[in-house]
Amino acid sequence: MKRRVVITGIGVVSPFGTGTELFWKSLIDGVSATRRIQSFDPVAHSSQVAGEVIDFDPSAFIDKKEMKRLDRFAQFAIVAGKLALADSGLKIEQEQSSRIGSIVGCGIGGISTMEAQCRVLFEKGPDRVSPFLVPMMISNMASGNMAISLGIKGLNFVIASACASGTHAIGESFHKVQTGELDVAFSGGVEAAVTPLTVAGFSAMKALSTYNDCPEKASRPFDKTRNGFVIAEGGAILVLEELEHARARNARIYAEVIGYAGNDDAHHITAPALEGAAGVMKLALENAGISAADVQYINAHGTSTPLNDQNESKAVHAVFGEHAAKLKVSSIKSMIGHLLGAAGAVEAAATAMTIADGVIPPTINYHEPDPECALDVVPNQAVKMDVRHAISNSFGFGGHNGCVVLKKYS
């Protein structure tokens, strides 16, 4: 028998700053956290805008000596994990630690460490490369270091499926708890890829927004004038817990996870495909055991790129038919930018909080409707609404698609 799985804790590090309450309040207030890049001089880059975690200080969560041995993405994982643990009220006891897992999504890993050590190699020679290069760079250190920090001894791995990584991590964690392999999973995604090389690479693909003169308005999903996504960093960790385990300790429950699916377009290395996006939503609804008409809200992938937003809109219409006109569909990337491998995690967190609080965050910077994106995108202002069922979409380079279905707990 499949067990019920609920979300009992959320920890977020976002371009708004460190903390889940700050993240949620800023979203429903419609605040833009995208700005001109500050971590390096972007003047030579065609895109000079990002959603950076400004003034990030992990010293309250991580020993200062240990911090020097951790890439920024791993620091995000530890901080978000500790915030999620505190929010859940869970106590990780030694005898239960092997029943608790750590499954995290990360698309790129320690790119800033790799860039820095490449400079050392070419300027000073191989003998000067840091012995911490490999353990700082490899992406599995997101879940590895979080597990070490929290004392988690159960199943532990990282999923790297580009921009679907966070959603896949949450979905796979859901299945592990649902089938009894774990009782609790700390799951989500982290990314820290706002670096000169990454920005140059995405810019060379013409994927990034070039609205450099108005950084706070550069991310404009579903708007006719959109011209690319805004790269961002941060992450979120959610505590997924078996229902009876949560009830036994009288845990607060944000929402219930009831469905998940993943598939692949098998179409193109970067361009999306309608069949894949529509297919993964259908599969997730089937896995959840609900119909399309049961859904009130979609937290969209909504990247602000011409192809993605158009494809996702058409996929929603293909799956939901006439019910699509009744759906609320919003993209929080309009406010925080695109967190790449962490995007699905912060968006699942926002979806759970939407269900818990009855408020749908808006799609800001929406002023010129695109006829190819004919959806109610909750333009510019949050909407109060009782949401009983919601889905969160993620679509990544390589054709990776993921969708999770959340439900109001009762």
In the residue annotation, 301 being an active-site residue is answered as yes
Contact 167, 352 (CB under 8 A): no
Q: Where are the alpha helices (DSSP H) in 191-331?
A: 196-204, 243-248, 274-288, 306-320
Q: Which two tokens stand for residue 132?
A: 């911490």
Residue 72 three-state SS: helix
Task: Please tell me the distance from the alpha carbon of residue 102 to that of residue 239, in angstroms, as a whole number.
Answer: 10
3-state secondary structure of 213: coil
- Among 45, 168, 245, 338, the active-site one is 338
* Catalytically annotated residue among 106, 163, 373, 403: 163
Structure tokens at 82: 């500790």
Residue 338 a catalytic site member: yes
Cα–Cα distance for residue pair 278/236, rounded to 1 Å: 26
Q: d(Cα 198, Cα 398) in Å, to the nearest integer?
A: 17
From the list 45, 168, 245, 301, the catalytic residue is: 301
- The residue with tokens 């009220």 is 89
Q: E strands along 119-265, which residues?
A: 156-159, 184-191, 231-232, 234-242, 255-264
Q: Do 198 and 26 contact (CB within 8 A), yes or no?
A: no
Q: Looking at the annotation, which residues are catalytic?
A: 163, 301, 338
